[in-house]
Chain A
Amino acid sequence: MKHRSVTFGIRRVFAAATVVALLGTSANAEGPTFAVRAKGYVDPDGEVVRNVTLLVEDGKIKKIGKRVRAPKDWIVLNRSGEYLAPGLVEIHSAVGAMRRTGEAANSIEAGADAADLFNQYHHDFDRAARAGITTIVLAPSSAHLVGGVTAVVKTGGSDHENRVVSPGPLKLSLTAQAFAQERVPTSLQGALATLRDMIATARANKDDASPFAHWARGETAAIVDVEDAATLRILARFAREHSLKCIALHANEAADRIEDAQSLGMPVILGTYEFHDPFRYTRVPGLLEKAGVAVAFTSEPPRYAPELLRVGAAIAMSEGMSRKAALAGMTSVPAGIVGLSNRIGSIEVGKDADFIVMDGDPLRLSSRVEEVFIGGERVFDWKAESERSASGVR
């Protein structure tokens, strides 16, 4: 019974979204087209610009600013008490995954694609959207030395078929989890020896156009789970040795390994942060920022609550990170990691109309996500949801 009612609830959310989509569609454009008047918006530098109007045409941002006027026949949403913030980007998750996120038999699954492993109708996408996350990167599990290619997915929108936006970077793991299995390699030294061989093979064969070969030749970056400080240093040396681009994941222990994170020359992914985390973890984002290393946060849904993405950025800020960098860690930095800076990560003309309506600063944890728009489609409406639950209908 419970399962049925949940499904029904999701249908209601989608139905609401579709209504908005229909209302917002003007005669000559295909996607949602409308204007939003807001009390302010968070600009690409993280500053709040007051009293703005946002024009969305065909699911893209057409204009944003103080002196922008909506064309006459357009629907105008009046949000003059609220703020607009860019949709958040979750860089490492397994939302919608159907059971395991990797084949158990082999440690190397360079051909695996996370786009094949998830259910785009899964209710965890709605949960992520509710937390303000509009784009999510699905990653193969860290139980594999080479897990496969990640997939960049929007968390909502009526067009389920086109939810996968693009393939993301390759995912690797050097954690103990990847080795404590009944298969080779069984150790970190075995893993790096295997990678050395694979890299040499990929470099010898210039025609190899697989994602692994591109990474092996230093053309693309890969996300590498490092788990702890010692592994981060080992990765830094390995990356130097082979001129590889590596984005260290879970570098939370990097407090006394800042120079290693720096030497990778790439952004670093930190998380999942919770309130009980020790100071030596929570001060890492601020230290990395000072050292000129870009930081992206992750909340790793569905294992942890997607709301922890904002919590992580807020904790980092309270321990010394700048507001701009904390916001970028949930928006533009992860957007850059997946190579979609031209489409997502900020409210700018020409980008996808992925934004959230909040009743306050997104970095204040008391601020509520009131509405979430993806490609101009409203996928979450807090008022409608709370009214439904008040009436007992789910």
Chain B
Amino acid sequence: MRTSMHHNPTSRSIVAIATLAVALGSSTFAFGQDEASNIDSGFLFIKAGRVYVSPDRSIEDGCIIVRDGKIEEIGQRAAKPEGARVIDLSEGTLTAGLIDANLSAEILATYRGPENETECIPHLRVLDAFDAGDPMLERLAAGGVTTVYVGPEPSSVIGSQGAILRTGGPIEERVIHAARGVKATIGREPIFRDGFNRGPFGRVSFMTRRPTTRMGLVWTVRKSFHDAHALARGEDTGSRGEGSPTDEAIPILQGILKGDVPLRIQARQLLDIQTAFRIGQEFGLDFILEEGTEAPRCIEAIKANNVPVIYGPIYDYPRGFRASSGEVDRRRLSGATELLDAGVTLALSAGDLAADAPLAEQASFAMRYGMTRKQALAAVTTTPAKILGLGEAAGKLERGAGANLVLWTGEPFEATTRAALVIVNGHVVFDRTEEGETK
């Protein structure tokens, strides 16, 4: 039952090239997974050269038994149970399914875009605007990602609530949280997009939004929380005036102030990160920092404010708005490692980067620039699980817990390694083992 294709280095490199070719050359690669998602043999005995039970603990030549969607047994020498499908990959490794804590809804094929009514729309749900069975999610699953936080793109100053989803399995089991956490953006992106949504020759229409300057943007954030805060204390804000949050937005903003609704702030430049701290201090807000390109420049402040960072994406050269705005001119490839080494709570995210195994690629990048495998594994499993509040068992392989796991063809995050088998909540959603491939 050994997967014969990985016996020698030559066949391994052929496989790597073939993977690359498939990944680059064909969009059917993603859609082809539809059939794989129907494979659901249920009862599995998987043996691997190394099992990463958690980022800190691994078992050499370990095995794992998955039955009825749960991890039934995990250890070094479990007996092969009767009737189980056996998958033996002695040069492979097993890890928990990866968790991307900041996927941008914008990369989903079925996403329908933001609301242009106002700049402050925390009462809206991004889950209302896409299909939980989006083909991109299945593509992510094929890259080893089993859980994602899908947030809105940074087009609104205070955007809609994100959703936590599984990337595969039956549709009705996919939504873990329909609305969890609000994303605010401090930076030039909402301004840029607002300018962009003007008509030809700068025609101002109903769709054209404010603010149009950075100070207007910060004012919108402050005004929103100020009004919510004042109303919560029973103060009469009178006629709240233009640019104030709508009545529907107020309860959610008050939830953020009380700490019931997690707040996430996307900020790239030092100035924007410091503005986020200032607003946080003014209103007593805890928040999660998203992207944080220049966060390595203010490590002490991040530690002092106890702010978790969902860092990334990491890339060689920026594209799109990042490139044209100059917001990421001071990016550092070693930034994530610097933050982690200083003791900051840090998760890696591929954000809006579309690739075939984007999160594993992020971990790979991080390792190239100094992160240990242990740190990288934690940054894509246990840490994002903790930031998202998914519970103690999430991001690890634990007996009795729901099976979210990836069997890799080699050490995780190596350039030559890819996912061979992905299980989401007990369902085999991707299968490239010998048996799976011939199906």
Pick the contact of B129 from A187, A229, A257, A259 — CB < 8 Å? A187
Nearest CB to that of A238 among chain B residues?
A: B128
A189 within 8 A of B: yes
| Stretch touching chain B among A1-9, A11-19, A27-35, A178-186 | A178-186
B122 to chain A, nearest CB (A): 10
Most chain A CB within a 10 A radius of its CB, from B110, B115, B116, B121: B115
Contact status of A187 and B206, CB under 8 A, knowing A193-B125, A197-B248, A256-B34: no
Measured between alpha carbons, how far is A56 from B351 in the docked complex, in Å?
A: 70
Does the CB pair A189–B134 fall under 8 Å? no
CA gap between A197 and B248 in the complex, in Å: 9
Whether the pair A237, B132 counts as a contact (CB closer than 8 A) is: yes
Answer yes or no: A234 CB below 8 A from chain B CBs.
yes
B178, closest chain A residue (CB): A241
Among candidates B121, B125, B132, B133, residue contacting A192 with C-beta atoms closer than 8 Å: B125
Q: Is the CB of A189 within 8 A of B160?
A: yes
How would residues 103 to 134 of chain B score, 1 for a CB under 8 Å from any chain A CB and 0 otherwise? 00000001011111100010111111111111
Q: Are B126 and A182 in contact (CB under 8 A)?
A: no
Q: Which of A182, A186, A233, A238 is close to B131, meaning CB atoms less than 8 Å apart?
A: A233
Q: Closest chain B residue to A176 by CB distance?
A: B112
B residues near A238, Cβ cutoff 8 Å? 128
Chain A residues positioned under 8 Å from B129 (CB to CB) = 187-189, 234
CA distance A193 to B116 in the complex (A): 13
Looking at the assembled complex, report how far the CB atom of A249 sits from the nearest CB atom of chain B, in whole angstroms.
Answer: 18
Question: Which residues of the partner chain A approach B127 to less than 8 Å between Cβ atoms?
Answer: 237
Residues of chain B within 8 A (CB-CB) of A233 are 131-133, 171
Asked if B115 contacts A189 (CB within 8 A), the reply is: yes
**What's the nearest-Cβ distance from chain B to residue A284, in Å?**
17
Most B Cβ at <10 Å: residue of A184, A193, A256: A193
Contacts of B128 in A (CB 8 A): 188-189, 191-193, 234, 238
Of all chain B residues, the one with the shortest Cβ separation from A190 is B115
B207 within 8 A of A: yes
Q: Are B206 and A182 in contact (CB under 8 A)?
A: yes
Contact A182 B207 (CB under 8 A): yes
Residue numbers in B under 8 Å from A186 (CB-CB): 115-117, 207
Kindly identify which residue among A184, A188, A256, A259 contacts B112, using a CB–CB cutoff of 8 Å: A188
Q: Enumerate 29 A-B pairs (CB-CB under 8 Å) in ascending A order.
A: A182-B207, A184-B115, A185-B115, A187-B112, A188-B128, A188-B129, A189-B124, A189-B125, A189-B160, A190-B115, A190-B124, A192-B124, A193-B124, A193-B125, A193-B248, A230-B130, A230-B131, A230-B134, A233-B131, A233-B132, A233-B133, A233-B171, A234-B129, A234-B131, A237-B127, A237-B132, A237-B175, A257-B133, A259-B171
Mark B residues whose CB is within 8 Å of A. Answer: 34, 110, 112-117, 121, 123-134, 160, 171, 175, 205-207, 248
